[in-house]
Amino acid sequence: TQLLEQSPQFLSIQEGENLTVYCNSSSVFSSLQWYRQEPGEGPVLLVTVVTGGEVKKLKRLTFQFGDARKDSSLHITAAQPGDTGLYLCAGAYDYKLSFGAGTTVTVRA
Amino acid sequence: KAGVTQTPRYLIKTRGQQVTLSCSPISGHRSVSWYQQTPGQGLQFLFEYFSETQRNKGNFPGRFSGRQFSNSRSEMNVSTLELGDSALYLCASSLNRGQVEISYEQYFGPGTRLTVT
| Chain B residues near residue A90 by CB distance under 8 angstroms | 43, 106
Chain A: give the shortest CA distance to residue B14, in Å.
22
| Chain B residues near residue A32 by CB distance under 8 angstroms | none
A101 touches chain B (CB under 8 A): yes
How are strands ordered across the β-sheet holding A5-7? A5-7, A19-24, A71-76, A61-65, A55-58
Q: A1-45 pLDDT, tens per residue?
A: 568 999 999 999 999 999 999 999 988 888 899 999 998 899 999
pLDDT over 80 at B101, yes or no: no
| Chain B residues near residue A100 by CB distance under 8 angstroms | 42
Phi–psi pair at B85, nearest 5 degrees: -85, -5
